Amino acid sequence: MPPTGQVDPLDVTVEDPREGTAVISGEEFLPGCGEPDAGSGEADAGTPDTSVLVTADSRFHSSTGVTVVPEDLSGNDLEILIPQGTGYARRTGTPVAGGMRFDNVPDGEYFLRLNRFYYLSRERHFDLGRNRMGRPDAVYSPFSEGTAALSLTQLAPWQEWTTLNDPGSSLQLISGDVDVYAPLSLNEYVSVGATTLNDPSAWIYNSTGRGLPVLDPAKGDHLYLNQLNSVAAGTMPSGAPMSYQTVVNSLQPPSFAFTPDGTTPLPLSGALQPVAQQPFSMEWRLSEFTRWRTDSNPTGTLSYSAMSLSPMPFGDQDGWVGYQGELFTLSLPRGEDGVIASRLAYGNPYPSSWGVVATVSYAFRSATPVVIGSRTHYPSGNVYVTDRLDPLIASPIQPPISPPRQLRIDGVDAYTSRVVGTTQPVFTWQPPVLGTPKAYVLSIIQLIGTFDAAPTLRFYVPGDRTQVRLPPNVLLPGATYYARVAADGSPHYEPWRAPFITAEKLPAVSSDTFSAVFTTP
């Protein structure tokens, strides 16, 4: 998963997996990239190639391996922007076998725009391919939420939620055979200490961005239902009690057929089994994260920090593919500092071939809220470190890269609120003190008065660039925004060539600086 939490912009317009089962490599035909285009004949000798081919293969990961399915890009909001002075010349694409071809793109840099995402590149073949979880012929219903009829025994004694840092018991539904990760919300009250649970209408929601899947026992579809409980773990550096949540019991019911229809509940019944707890030791140096607070924002404050462990179905050869819930979560209260040196444990109900990935994060946020309509915003930034568990805890956990510094808008300090002079400003910054960025990601977040997702523009540039001039007409007049710049030090990340596939390679590390709010004229 991308450490910056980015959404996949292809999902804005391409919601369902492709039904086809053809397996291609994505390199078998590259029209406009040195090979003859189908039906167009050879290019004249010595004639420079001025086309760019954009492809988008879905790589479906399942127990049978990886199946590659080409996607049709013709329905996507996709174009190329070529810098020209203070503006950009635009190119639209032509659908070709395997993707979209853009002609008359001169040698040099261009932005490939996909919806609200902009990638600065020189590549003649740009790969928008994605890794997907589950078999390629899986069918997903139009219903992303529904109900489940639960009849469960042999639970670990049920716990009540007390605080964010001591969340008690919860249930999660996942599967490596189809793409589903669904936390369950109970409709019936469960007594503290109960070991049975009967709820005919628990609420489920598939958090992967897809509808709930159709389950087919003939295809070997299985589900895991995991119970997570809180476990006491001594004290935090501040002296407050510390606890974490981990998988303690799990149920893998026999395969069964189910088609979500928006009414029929998903039947889940059986006896959960205890999950063996796997111990690990770590030294998490919170102080090595908090020391970068003023680089993240000179007036920012310390916010929440957390460590989580998640499964990597089918191994880690392609990085962290898909999201299949949590094995372990340690959430700390706002402002916690110092060092946590502890021996902890996590439950893992999955096959030994599945890997374990760990993410550690520390957030900083504005000291002053910004109220827009009925919504209160806190501009914020994060430090992320994601890696396989074993190498992450082999040495003290600390960030290998710090935030960029001295963020400016049109040459003026961006950490002070103001009205900018234009809707096409130039953002500049200085490199971080610690680490070498492989790339920078500039995010422009619009602050809105409703509780919908905040509209966000993102610009991805190589790590030797410290400036982005926005294209015209991407910012609204009279609107309120803030900017966030991430220094990404992930060694395998190449957003100028293959942003989604390379973002999932491990390790993944990034640190943000964020501005004060600014308003357009």
Q: How does pLDDT run across 147-191, given as a tens digit for each residue?
A: 999 999 999 999 999 888 889 999 999 998 999 999 999 999 999
Q: What is the per-residue pLDDT for 6? A: 39
Which residue type sits at 361? S
Which residue type sits at 155? L
Q: What is the per-residue pLDDT for 415? A: 98
Residues of 364-389 as b/e, b for ≥16 C-beta within 10 angstroms?
bbbeeebebeeeebbbbbbbbbbbbb
Locate CATH 2.60.40.10 in the chain: 372-519
What angle is formed at CA 154 by the lines to CA 151 and CA 159, rounded to 5 degrees?
A: 90
Q: What is the per-residue pLDDT for 89? A: 95
Homologous superfamily (CATH) of 372-519 is: Immunoglobulins (2.60.40.10)
Measured from the Cβ of residue 325, the count of other Cβ atoms closer than 10 Å reads 19
Counting residues of the chain whose pLDDT is more than 70, the rounded percentage is: 91
Q: Measuring CA to CA, how many Å separate 165 from each of 324, 331, 332?
A: 22, 5, 6
Q: In the numeric block, which tokens belong to residue 121?
A: 């590149």
Q: What is the per-residue pLDDT for 14? A: 26
Q: What is the per-residue pLDDT for 310? A: 97
Under-50 pLDDT residues of the chain: 1-45
Q: What is the per-residue pLDDT for 9? A: 40
**Residues paired with 301 in a beta bridge:** 365
Task: Mark out the alpha helices in 337-431 (DSSP H runs).
Answer: 389-393
Q: What is the per-residue pLDDT for 48? A: 63
Q: What is the per-residue pLDDT for 163? A: 85
The CATH code that applies to domain 18-133 is 2.60.40
pTM given for the model: 0.89
